[in-house]
Amino acid sequence: MTEATTTAGQIPPILLVGCGRMGSAMLAGWREQGLAPSFAVDPSPAAAAFAAPDLSVVAKASEIPADFAPAAVVVAVKPQNADETLPDYARFAGGPVFLSIMAGRTIGGIAKPLGSKAAIVRAMPNTPAAIRQGVTVACPAEGVSTPQRSLCDRLLQAIGHVAWVEDEAFMDPVTAVSGSGPAYVFLLAELMEEAALEHGLPPDLARLLARQTVAGSGALLAASPEEASALRRAVTSPGGTTAAALAVMMASDALPLIIPQAIDAATRRSRELAG
């Protein structure tokens, strides 16, 4: 497979660089919409499992046929591996759009090894993409055409909601809030489960209560037009159990201090990863 004909409604040929957790989630979303014959590059032996009639998996960029012409090169490798990975794809610059989901890597840092002809979109998805419930923020470089932006939007919508920003400076706090955000929610569920165990609840019940409370509350938040603060107040009866718990969590040295500090730390780290 080197040349592909895209049928109506199909995702056009894609070159996916990296089949890790996020890359494979995106691939699954594209396949649900129909994917024209594409290529993926990943040296891990486990990546071979993704091979199918719509995808050839190779270990290195040099194994991609010279006449393969992708519509997009999706870079889904760890940002720490960018400097050694990106030069292998400079030959595609000037053709497909490069869609990067590497945390912290700036458009300028991505363009350096690819050359001035590369059309680049920087994006930050999050892990709920695995169940098509992710949220991604994307930022286009100058020179990205309207069709290229539309294609990137379609590729990202396959895994959830998409928002666009024109100012790349927003991408660091975006990474801190939504990119890293699922870990904050998982930590909440983890701590709730541990607290339930300490109060003697059976393990299965503790896990069910913690997980379903977090999941159900998130679903309610997504479905409700009300502000999060209004939903919180609706659960909080004066002098009740929720009020007692929130008095601890909302103390000046508790969540109102810790959450901003956590977002600040993640934002700083995103800037440190910039290349």
Q: What is the mean pLDDT of residues 30-42?
A: 96
d(CA 140, CA 103): 15
CATH of 181-272, one of 1.10.510.10, 1.10.357.10, 3.40.50.720, 1.10.3730.10: 1.10.3730.10
CATH of 14-171, one of 3.30.420.130, 3.40.50.720, 3.90.870.10, 1.10.3720.10: 3.40.50.720
178-198 residue pLDDT tens? 999 999 999 999 999 999 999
For residue 169, what are the contacts with CB-CB under 8 A and spacing of at least 6? Answer: none
Unique residue bearing structure tokens 């290195």: 60
* 224, 214 Cβ separation under 8 angstroms: no
Quick one: what percent of the chain has pLDDT higher than 90? 90
Work out the pLDDT band at 6, boundaries 50, 70, 90. low
Unique residue bearing structure tokens 């920003």: 165
Q: What is the mean pLDDT of residues 73-79?
A: 94
Same fold, 14-171 and 181-272: no
pLDDT of residue 8: 61
Put residue 206 in one of left, alpha, beta given phi > 0 → left and psi -120 to 50 → alpha: alpha
113-169 residue pLDDT tens? 999 999 999 999 999 999 999 999 999 999 999 999 999 999 999 999 999 999 999
pLDDT of residue 103: 87
Alpha-carbon torsion, ordered 60, 61, 64, 65, to 10 deg: -130
**DSSP for residue 52:** B
